[in-house]
Structure 1
Amino acid sequence: MNADHLENSGRRDFLRKSALGGGGLMLGFYLNVADSAAKRVAKPSTVPETGEFKPNAFIHIAPNGTVTLISKQPEIGQGIKTSLPMIIAEELEVNWKDVVIVQGDLDPIYGSQSAGGSRSTPTNYEEFHRLGATARTMLIQAAAETWKVPVSELIAHDSAVHHSLSGRKLDYGQLVAKAATLPVPAPESVQLKDSKNYKLLGTRIGGVDNPGIVTGKPLFGIDVQLPGMLYAVYEKSPVFGGKVVSANLDKIKSLPGVRNAFIIQGGSDLKGLLPGIAIVADSTWAAFSARKQLEVVWDEGQGADQSWAGFAAKANELSTQPGMDILRNDGDAKAALAAAEKTVEAAYSYPFISHASIEPQNCTAWYKDGAIEIWAPTQNPEAGQKVVTATLGIPKDKITLHITRSGGGFGRRLIPDYIIEAAAISQHLTVPVKLTWTREDDLRHDQYRAGGFHFLRGGLDDKGKLVAWHNHFVTFANKVVKDGKPKLELGSGANLSGDEFPGRWVENCLLEQTPLECNIPMGPWRAPRSNVLAWVFHSFIDELAHAAGRDPLEFRLEILGDKGFIPGTGEQGIPYDVNRMKHVLQHVAEKAEWGKKTLPRGQGQGIAFHFSHRGYIAQVAEVTVSRDGKLKVDRVVVSTDIGAQIVNLSGAENQVQGSVVDGFGALTFQELNIEKGRIVQSNFGDYPMLRIADAPTRVDVHFLKTDNPVTGLGEPALPPLAPAVCNAIFAATGKRVRQLPLLRTDLSWS
């Protein structure tokens, strides 16, 4: 049996047995299924057969001093596999060189294990501090009982407990046997460290997988190998929602290396198992080669009539008709616009785009004797388990799901369509099967960032103050069946909310929304909704500032006002802290020397901010645009407020810089055209990604520590980039960008 398989298949068993056998305090992460009240419980600590100290499901300390920490969230490049264990290690007072990180598989013992919405850090931060502090408390107590001295005379640091009066010390490995016999202290009795004494948090720690990545070790889903494994591809209708009528399966089955080819009927859920044809072969190459000879007759359905040109024409038509009110502030926006000293109108649009993660979707599944084992690069393993149960009828307790590292996610791997495809193919054959999507599959069967059309009007009074705002948003929705009835469901990120600035800040504000029905599947794309709304709103605010003859920074600060908190708004019910936003906005202006430079024609600064996924971010972009329209982003200055503590400075900087680069790539190049219900683009040849030569020359990152809860950073730094760059382009050239991507706008000037 393959060594990698042995390691993977044994790991889940090790983690479950060590957590349950070793007992310990689950601290809100272990759900006792026998408890009818579903209360979280603590288990007494015991000495397991391995001789390790396991005070909870996340910490195992061996007699040789090795500390194994379990990372429960999926690692998709955001660094969470390193940063969450750092929190435990800080409180545990363990030397990082003594730490081994193990990826936890899907298991209710760990609680929620999805990675999306920049929630991994804020939802685990306090709990993980307590996990580490509890283990440290027990180790100190073990030393006190060993030496028969008061706990107050002892201190833990560098993976050992020290008695300063006598100069003695006991390494953690020497204390595991004693510590494992102690009762687990009540959570409220455990003393957490003062942040001023942190030694690990806030420092630069390289990713725990970095050595394996640069040396090509098998870490990713696409690397999984199992004994007797076959390789599969899955052909779906080029038109979303299409069904198989017939295919030349006999010919495909006769091709070299092909083991089987068959139709899967599937269903209509665009996020589930769609109809298609599976080809299973002895190698990926054989499967891919056979697919090239596949001939299918499709029933394409009504989706074949849809096109981007048709959507755009319909959006223009709908813009003149009333939409559904999303927010109507006190006052009358239309009357205020009619009475305004000056009005500005503009239409903004952006296309559907793909996630285009470097590792295409893939999954390995092994169905045997009514149970299934799955290896998947997933952001949402619970969703994968759920869809397998619902679609294939396999009970949850018969599903083992191993979480592999993902080669990028950006929200794409929250949707488990590729998981259910692999599971269905394996169930049909009852052998281990690796399903691999091609790049063409990945672009043409993504869960896309929704396109959209915004028709805006703004009103200014005689002092240049914003007094009215009207936005009619024509967006996209899929027809779904809920409770037996068809309804339109807005795509992820395709909804408008008054929570977004400047909705509730403008006295006379009307937000309207009109859905366009489409068959295009839509899913979360990094910083859903915010990634495009920030561009639309802060570009239009910039238009209004210039129309008023006002400084764009001062204009924004005036709109923000002095309200402190905007109650009852914000993402997920979180109030919007105006003072935090003003702080980062003023800070970024200071660091970028906003307005203090006299720039020649062709150079400009642009400013923008956004509250996204609990983070307050402001950015200034500095650009140069040549006379023939070639753009270069010379510098992006970023100020962030994500709370009281940066967990891993290296990872945090990486996330901000990565967001800037990712946001600029989407702004500059990315778009998908739709013709006859099909995605036209197929690969990076006609869907270009940002290259190093086109990236911003410099990104300056500033973290403002504030007395606020710690939040995530995978998404909030992306939304302000696009409007900051576009506003800088206007300052440099006088040309306003109202259509994405940038390549659609001629930036040349004279």
Structure 2
Amino acid sequence: MNAPVTADRRAILKASLVGGAALVFDARIAAAATAPGKPASTLTAFVRINPDNTVTIGSKNPEVGQGPRMTLPMLIAEELDVDWSQVKIEQTLVNEKVYGQQAAVGSTAVPTNFLPMRQAGAAARAMLVNAAAARWGVDASALTTASGKVMGPGGKSATYADLAADAAKQPAPDLKTVKLKDARQFKIIGKPVGHVEAPKIVKGEPLFGVDVDLPGMVYAAVEICPAFGGTLASFNADKVKAMPGIVDVVPVNSGNNPGNANDAVAVIATSWWLANKARSALEIVWNKADQEKVTTAGLAAFAQDAFAKAPAAQIAKKGDVDAALASAAKVVKAQYSYPYLSHATLEPQNCTAQFKDGKLEIWSNSQWPGLGLGLVTKQTGLKQDDITVHMLRGGGGFGRRLNNDYMLLVSQLAKALPGKPVKLIYNRTDDLQHDFYRSAGWHDFAAGLDASGKIVAFRDHYVGSGANNRPTTAAELPATEFPAQFVDNVLLGTTYYSSNVPTSWMRAPGSNALAFVFQGFLDEVAVAAGIDLPTLLLNTFGEDRIVPGGGGFMSPPVNTGRAKGVIKKVVEMAKWTGSKGSAPGKGRGFAYYFSHQGYFAEIVDVTVTGTKVSVDKVYIAADVGSPIVNPLNALHQVQGACIDGIGQALSGLSLTVDKGAVTATNFHQYPLARIDIAPRDVVVEFLQTANPPTGLGEPSLPPVIPAIANAIFAATGKRLRSTPFKLA
């Protein structure tokens, strides 16, 4: 996954009267309060003061259930000094030149926007205060604000609405020096706030990308080459074009989208059902013989062959692993694996576009629409200023909507049918068989212990998806993967198989798989050492210190004090005395993981009855810095990611690739988590340490999977080394 775009943040910090910076104060609309109808006044790119003294705040990031539509406006409202009841929220258009990075990626919304959004609110407040000071002939320092009002000496007061027109004429303040509140003054940040869109979701009102309905709209379904990377040789659409309701048949390609450049043929009709049904009558010849060679069985065999040899590359080498293993008091060896996974968002991929008068308008639920906008610009040859992208809520994202294949396809269709709005919808088979998948992987581990139970050697040979011995997207193994930096003799090696199966980000990318194999294996090491896993990790981390990372998003520095803090906290929360359960068939499992700058330790209680595993309770200790902007949303994010991980472990999620294509066609072959596997309780405690806020939407997922595996071992004595877990 890409690191946060720090250049955007720097641009926001430098925003002033200079055009093009992230807040673009000179783009504000200075509306006179005395104008007919008393129009609203825009003070910054994010704040609009309405005549009734309500405030409309622009929410700039995509919403796919992780909560930025509320969280980011909360930051602005806090520093603007209005009551939350005065706030209205409006989704902005896509314009990264104005708003900075607009993406739901890597749990970065709060970490990268915590300061800039507060500065945006504080800047608007300063403009209002300065307007009042000028009106009353007093120094701005003599004025205070609260609840959308400015108060001054002698009982003077004015609402923001009264001051808005004058404030819009004020010079924009320097964001570097604009005064921010002390955390002790917060009235909105740190308070639980429900989601503004919850009522619409409950009532089923139009909200999501798939809900777009425009006059004269036509609908598209696409027949995509079944083998990844295949190309279109020829097609005959005569039968389809003769069917009632068919508008056109158009060949398309998502070739500007890295990793999945499949050819396709789109059927466009007056209803989506007609278009989807007509697909089966297309006569298509694909060029796919070379692509059909890839199978999951073949990849597994490749991994075993690779394990018999030295790794193709060494990404971390320290000391002499072979000698340390040879002289170790105990040696533990095991192989772990995990399958390809699909995101399987409940709302399938979709997008709507209209090309009219040389301009393209797009309605998208992309997680990174700005990235899609860039791809569409290259593909269509249009100028970016001639393309408007509306952001709509996505019915789940989990990383899938970061890949904008649907935007590329529908843009081609819109250009082929000028003037007509075109809505493209994938059916469930399309969605499963043409995803950007969580990579499959295989690991061959060995660890050596000295007589005291200390890890003196650690080795992993990882086999994963790649090309030219480089990993495909989100398939890499970081050279700093724990415990590599804390052991004297280490060898982390990689061998990559060449595959045309596209891989990409999935919720907690990389770590959603690596946590399971590393923490599962380390539990085996702890058992061999005669101690429990929390003790092994605490001993391995050693003294409190900052351990440098390897650079980049996947290898940040590690604060061992924070890591130990969450381990100790969850042990306290669960009253952990070991992994043995309170009765036969019951077990407890522990795991820790650090990802997206968040430190998480989790304990899971399970009951095993025959081959059925039930998760009874989950305890989660989290250190994601402070403050927690919206505790209610934070709790939902942590619990939701945890249940997502439980689903990966227990619901049977696994994809088979045969002849270069995914075989699953619907949920009967790819069963999503159902309510019966959800735990009765997920207890979460946040350690609000004196550190900046970090990611929340992803880092609770990785540890729960190995914690379940370790709990199953405690209950049954059976070690499960591949997901999904099966006791049969």
Give the alignment's TM-score, normalised by structure 2: 0.93
Partner of 2:4: none
Is 1:717 matched up with 2:700? yes
Is 1:216 matched up with 2:204? yes
Query: Alignment partner for residue 628 of structure 2, among 646, 656, 670?
Result: 646
Using the TM superposition, name which of 321-330 and 123-132 deviates more: 321-330
Partner of 2:537: 556
Measure how far apart 1:291 and its partner are.
1.5
Query: Alignment partner for residue 678 of structure 1, among 644, 651, 661?
Result: 661
Query: Alignment partner for residue 525 of structure 2, among 544, 556, 571?
Result: 544
Partner of 2:595: 612
Matched-pair contact (CA < 8 Å) for 1:51–1:177:
no
Matched-pair contact (CA < 8 Å) for 1:643–1:711:
yes
Deviation by residue 1:506-563 (Cα, 9 ceiling, x = unmatched): 1111000000011101110011101110111000000000011112211111111115
Alignment partners' CA distance in 2, 1:703 and 1:266: 43
Measure how far apart 1:571 and its partner are.
5.1
Amino acid at match of 1:432: P
Matched-pair contact (CA < 8 Å) for 1:249–1:262:
no
Alignment partners' CA distance in 1, 2:369 and 2:17: 18
Measure how far apart 1:245 and its partner are.
2.6
**Equivalent residue runs for 1:175-186 within 5 Å:** 175-186=163-174
Partner of 2:647: 665
Deviation by residue 1:350-379 (Cα, 9 ceiling, x = unmatched): 100000111100011112233211111101
**Equivalent residue runs for 1:115-130 within 5 Å:** 115-130=104-119
Matched-pair contact (CA < 8 Å) for 2:12–2:100:
no
Matched-pair contact (CA < 8 Å) for 1:602–1:732:
yes
Amino acid at match of 1:437: Y
Partner of 1:302: 290
Measure how far apart 1:205 and its partner are.
0.6
Matched-pair contact (CA < 8 Å) for 1:45–1:183:
no
Partner of 1:700: 683
Query: Alignment partner for residue 375 of structure 1, among 350, 363, 375?
Result: 363
Is 1:527 matched up with 2:508? yes
Alignment partners' CA distance in 2, 1:412 and 1:79: 17
Alignment partners' CA distance in 2, 1:641 and 1:454: 29
Query: Alignment partner for residue 449 of structure 2, among 457, 460, 466?
Result: 460
- Cα 1:612/1:206, change in 2 over 3 Å: same
**Equivalent residue runs for 1:13-162 within 5 Å:** 28=14, 42-43=25-26, 47-48=30-31, 51-107=39-95, 108-162=97-151
- Cα 1:737/1:702, change in 2 over 3 Å: same
Alignment partners' CA distance in 1, 2:596 and 2:267: 41
Amino acid at match of 1:575: P
Measure how far apart 1:173 and its partner are.
1.2
Measure how far apart 1:220 and its partner are.
1.0
- Cα 1:727/1:441, change in 2 over 3 Å: same
**Equivalent residue runs for 1:337-736 within 5 Å:** 337-430=325-418, 431-478=420-467, 487=468, 489-562=470-543, 564-569=545-550, 572=553, 574-595=556-577, 599-626=582-609, 628-668=610-650, 669-736=652-719
Matched-pair contact (CA < 8 Å) for 1:26–1:42:
no
Measure how far apart 1:265 and its partner are.
5.8
Alignment partners' CA distance in 2, 1:56 and 1:428: 38
Alignment partners' CA distance in 2, 1:392 and 1:46: 32
Alignment partners' CA distance in 2, 1:43 and 1:265: 41
Query: Alignment partner for residue 307 of structure 2, among 319, 322, 344?
Result: 319
Alignment partners' CA distance in 1, 2:466 and 2:472: 5
Partner of 2:226: 238
Matched-pair contact (CA < 8 Å) for 1:161–1:172:
yes
Query: Alignment partner for residue 281 of structure 2, among 290, 293, 311?
Result: 293
- Cα 1:561/1:569, change in 2 over 3 Å: farther
| Percent identical residues | 43
Matched-pair contact (CA < 8 Å) for 1:329–1:504:
no
Measure how far apart 1:273 and its partner are.
4.9
Alignment partners' CA distance in 1, 2:23 and 2:53: 30
Partner of 2:7: none
Measure how far apart 1:606 and its partner are.
1.0
Using the TM superposition, name which of 605-614 and 383-392 deviates more: 383-392
Alignment partners' CA distance in 1, 2:313 and 2:581: 44
Matched-pair contact (CA < 8 Å) for 1:604–1:624:
yes
Matched-pair contact (CA < 8 Å) for 2:50–2:161:
yes
Local SS of the residue matching 2:199: helix
Alignment partners' CA distance in 1, 2:151 and 2:176: 24
- Cα 1:70/1:686, change in 2 over 3 Å: same
Measure how far apart 1:491 and its partner are.
2.0
Partner of 1:21: none
Unpaired segments ≥5 residues, structure 1? 1-24, 479-486
Measure how far apart 1:654 and its partner are.
0.5
Alignment partners' CA distance in 1, 2:254 and 2:514: 35
Local SS of the residue matching 1:647: coil
Deviation by residue 1:624-674 (Cα, 9 ceiling, x = unmatched): 112x12111111111111112101111100100000000111112210011
Using the TM superposition, name which of 439-448 and 703-712 deviates more: 703-712
Matched-pair contact (CA < 8 Å) for 2:260–2:436:
no
Alignment partners' CA distance in 1, 2:177 and 2:287: 65
- Cα 1:520/1:30, change in 2 over 3 Å: farther
Measure how far apart 1:601 and its partner are.
2.5
Amino acid at match of 1:567: P
Alignment partners' CA distance in 2, 1:54 and 1:388: 30
Local SS of the residue matching 1:207: coil
Using the TM superposition, name which of 234-243 and 433-442 deviates more: 234-243
Measure how far apart 1:266 and its partner are.
5.9
Local SS of the residue matching 1:189: coil
- Cα 1:361/1:620, change in 2 over 3 Å: same
Deviation by residue 1:223-261 (Cα, 9 ceiling, x = unmatched): 111221110011111111122233330001111211111
Matched-pair contact (CA < 8 Å) for 1:121–1:712:
yes
Deviation by residue 1:438-478 (Cα, 9 ceiling, x = unmatched): 01100000000000000001111111111111000000125
Local SS of the residue matching 1:187: coil
Measure how far apart 1:339 and its partner are.
1.1
Matched-pair contact (CA < 8 Å) for 1:527–1:718:
yes
Using the TM superposition, name which of 357-366 and 38-47 deviates more: 38-47
Using the TM superposition, name which of 111-120 and 452-461 deviates more: 111-120
Alignment partners' CA distance in 2, 1:533 and 1:418: 30
Local SS of the residue matching 1:56: coil
Matched-pair contact (CA < 8 Å) for 2:31–2:165:
no
Alignment partners' CA distance in 2, 1:238 and 1:157: 60
Local SS of the residue matching 2:171: coil
Matched-pair contact (CA < 8 Å) for 1:449–1:492:
no
Matched-pair contact (CA < 8 Å) for 2:618–2:682:
yes
Amino acid at match of 2:53: G
Alignment partners' CA distance in 2, 1:46 and 1:228: 34
Measure how far apart 1:150 and its partner are.
4.3
Measure how far apart 1:63 and its partner are.
2.5
Alignment partners' CA distance in 2, 1:311 and 1:340: 33
